[in-house]
Structure 1
């Protein structure tokens, strides 16, 4: 049966889009190269990262959402959205291989008048210089003439109760004005506001700016955290006061590192072909360096606290609380917990963890003991480190039970614990 929409890639980008589309009454199919993921979704089993609850999935399935295994189904829709992952590779460039695979699969079945959209994180120029040739070569059709092509940066805020798909403006940039209007017509069914960019490059650069803005500002408060600790200043009180300013300031808060799926994009690592970036964003490179140092700073603080209480890191029992990258989600993408646990183990510490959303955790392919009783584990640990402040944590009670508590999120009562 033909559908209105095909979502290609059912991960952290694709599932929220499919959910919003199904809730809006759009006949939606989902395609993914992972057969286990397709089977789980079809059977009503929610993904393990917590991006979708079982109840959410049941509503989607009841609303007509279905997964498909046959790529031919992608050629029977009016709109196809590529939501393939683009992780940061070892060379610090975005890995577009999954987008390429999705494009080739779609191109083999692409029909005239289809609207093709890309939501994956991308460099400026990806839609025109990477995606367009793959679609045209594989289909024999021409973008802008035979089918519509546009880019829209994903603005999904996983787990947020404040920012729904419908209430978040959607930026779009099409290859031609007609492509932009076709994309606007689609997203207008999902969101209250559509913002038209001049073209796909501008829309792609919106995503770059938004992600870099977050990383640069987190780096600033991370540096402030180190400075304020050395000066004996309560940074969280400083932020509390500063955010009362009604203009010129937006509050960001420090932490043990930066996680999530959005990666900062530095022009030094953008494939420009014969073009050169000219003026690299030095601020972004510096922000990456600062944020990348935070796990080591957490280790330094751990060792110092243990030392001050007559204990060595070697042999110390250390309990890590919250190992996901974001509170109240199971997603561990980019979480600093892995590096922090690894460094503690290198120092000879006995590492355990507690996270209500993660039943099993491995570091270096070795299982990390999970605490069944949170307060008992905190009482027995030489040092407890809060890495992520899940809603279920009662930090006042933890501060009483724990021998030593290092709060990297500034969420505990003032004076009750040691803060980052």
Structure 2
């Protein structure tokens, strides 16, 4: 695995797979990106980027160096020394784990595995997915035995999109192998591209590590979301309290409230563990309570909007509402699991006319959960357009959005992100 002449394959060229592939290529490793989406493959091979925070120059440089190529042909797995699986792992309509993308990927690559190949799953999932579910598919399709004829491991992705200080090379990589030999080969693989590799005892320990990281965030976000509601009833600004609390140099870590959870990790990962825990007769009450609090936040925001409109003798039914920010997180174009979609659904169900503005998402792309909004376009950012709405809700606080202009132009602003804290003339701003 330390040979720069070897080729590694990365299946899934999205927000995880593409940055990872670029980092391996920058480290001198030859990378083959594999995806069923031909548009992504064509973009990479043309030196273009389809993810906002990844510049085209980074892709073009690795193409020119001959260290990166992309394909839809999964038979090319036969050329690879290692295959990293970076595909989605969503929840189904019943909020249960959907590992179909992982298993279908396993079925696609299994016939082309050669003896000695390393397969690493990076998709977030419940403990046991790698050494039970994926292993079974790979062994059935290849006719080989994991840990004997080919290597198998899990290494959870760790991405922080929109954070310029978050570099793949500098984020420690947790790895767990099916056998000691699998672990050794996985450490050698990632050691070529990242500064620190953290080995754990098994695939399950690595899977559990990723879940703990995101459950920790989910629970603490739920705490401040609950406090936001409690302190609001006491006429206390929770944002002011958090700023004061974080001056304590020990025993405290700041988390911030919002209109709900978004992204591919925090809204989903905790439910992977709650589902798997039931198999062992274990309750996860703390995690489930946090989920209840976080999923109630969009309705809290809608209630605040209705109250604010009532204050100016305007009903929510029939009002024109603008959502400012569609991406789940500031300064990215990733709208997966965005709470803004939930807000749009709730407001629309209440009879409001809903629009949105987001410089990173000019048109709503196809989504599994909110297909009915597909094709809707971001409104223009100008005084006449913004002033035409009865209320504007800041659901994501992008740095390149002028929130002072929003306050100046809007009849009413409902701020869920504390984005207007430094704005002038905030008489029309309501915190939610």
Same fold by TM-score greater than 0.5: yes
Q: Give, in angstroms, the shift of residue 271 of structure 1.
A: 7.9
C-alpha separation between the residues in 2 aligned to 1:50 and 1:18?
A: 16
**1:410 matched residue in structure 2:** 418
Matches within 5 A, 1:19-34: 19-34=22-37
Whole-Å Cα distance in 2 between the matches of residues 402 and 303 of structure 1?
16
CA distance in 2, matches of 1:228, 1:375: 34
Does structure 1 residue 193 correspond to structure 2 residue 196? yes
> Which whole-Å deviations, capped at 9, do the CAs of 1:269-295 have from their partners, x for residues lacking one?
1287xxx32332111111111111111
Structure 1 match to 2:350 = 347
Q: How does 1:111-260 map to 2 (within 5 A)?
A: 111-260=114-263
- Structure 1 residues 368 and 80, CA gap change in structure 2 (3 angstroms): closer
Match of 1:53 in 2: 55
**Aligned partner of residue 23 in structure 2, secondary structure:** helix
Aligned to 2:11: 8
Deviation at 1:35, TM superposition (A): 2.3
In structure 2, the CA distance between the partners of 1:366 and 1:346, relative to structure 1 (3 Å rule), is farther
Distance 1:131 1:225, change over 3 A: same
Shift of 1:368: 4.2
Q: CA deviation at 1:254?
A: 0.6
For residue 3 of structure 1, report the CA deviation from its aligned partner: 4.9
Cα separation, 2, equivalents of 1:101 and 1:295 = 34
What is the CA distance between 1:45 and its match in structure 2?
3.3
Partner Cα distance (2:382, 2:239) in 1: 26
The answer on whether the counterparts of 1:319 and 1:377 sit within 8 Å (CA) in structure 2 is no
Q: Matched residue pairs, number?
A: 415
Matched residue of 2:176: which SS?
A: strand
Q: Distance in 2 between matches of 1:260 and 1:60?
A: 28
Please give the root-mean-square deviation of Cα atoms over the aligned residues, in Å.
1.9
Work out the CA distance in 1 between the residues paired with 2:377 and 2:75.
46
Q: TM-score, structure 1 length as denominator?
A: 0.94
- Which sections of structure 1, spanning at least 5 residues, go unmatched? none
Cα separation, 1, equivalents of 2:377 and 2:146: 53
Aligned ranges for residues 88-127 of structure 1 at < 5 Å?
88-127=91-130
Among candidates 323, 328, 342, match of residue 320 of structure 1: 323
